[in-house]
Structure 1
Amino acid sequence: MCLAIPAEVIDLLPDEMARVSLDGILKTISVGLLDEVAVGDYVIVHVGHALARIDEVEAQRTLALLAEMGVAAEEGR
């Protein structure tokens, strides 16, 4: 199973790279597959690459569902 998750772009770096926050964890990813990316954008990240931009509301909804799934897994549901 593959999983792509939303992350907020917090810094643009040289060579089509960016620093993103994944629920507070900072990662450096490639944004080379996207035309335009700005600080504050949310992107869908899979194996170190931004695949698409996503609006903040959808990103927060997805992150909330992922957190809920984590709690359910911990509780053995």
Structure 2
Amino acid sequence: MCLSIPSKVVALHPEETSITVDTLGVKRKVSYHLIDDPIEIDDYVLIHIGFVMNKINKAEALETLALYEEMAEKMQPEG
């Protein structure tokens, strides 16, 4: 099973059919050539092994990211 974290598009590289995304503060370049939807800066996408699988709704992405943050806080040791 693969868990995909919503990633925000922060840069476009159309000449390479790639984009730079920010996933919880980590930036990396990924390919978007597998999808037909136009991608713009500030869109949210789901990625699998370096490829954009689909674009997702911003509200859903932000809600999911808030849940990840909540889970991460609960996993931190106390003190």
TM-score between both structures, scaled by the size of structure 2: 0.83
Distance between the aligned counterparts of 1:48 and 1:15, measured in 2?
A: 14
Task: Answer yes or no: is the 8 Å Cα contact 1:5–1:46 preserved in 2.
Answer: no
Q: For this pair of structures, how many residues does the alignment match?
A: 76
* Cα RMSD after superposing both structures: 1.6
Among 50, 64, 68, the residue aligned to 1:62: 64
| 2:3 is the alignment partner of 1:3 | yes
TM-score between both structures, scaled by the size of structure 1: 0.85
2:32 counterpart letter in structure 1: V
| 2:53 is the alignment partner of 1:38 | no
User: What SS does the corresponding residue of 2:34 show, helix, strand or coil?
Assistant: coil
Distance between the aligned counterparts of 1:44 and 1:37, measured in 2?
A: 12
Distance between the aligned counterparts of 2:48 and 2:56, measured in 1?
A: 13
User: What SS does the corresponding residue of 1:5 show, helix, strand or coil?
Assistant: coil
Distance between the aligned counterparts of 2:35 and 2:64, measured in 1?
A: 21
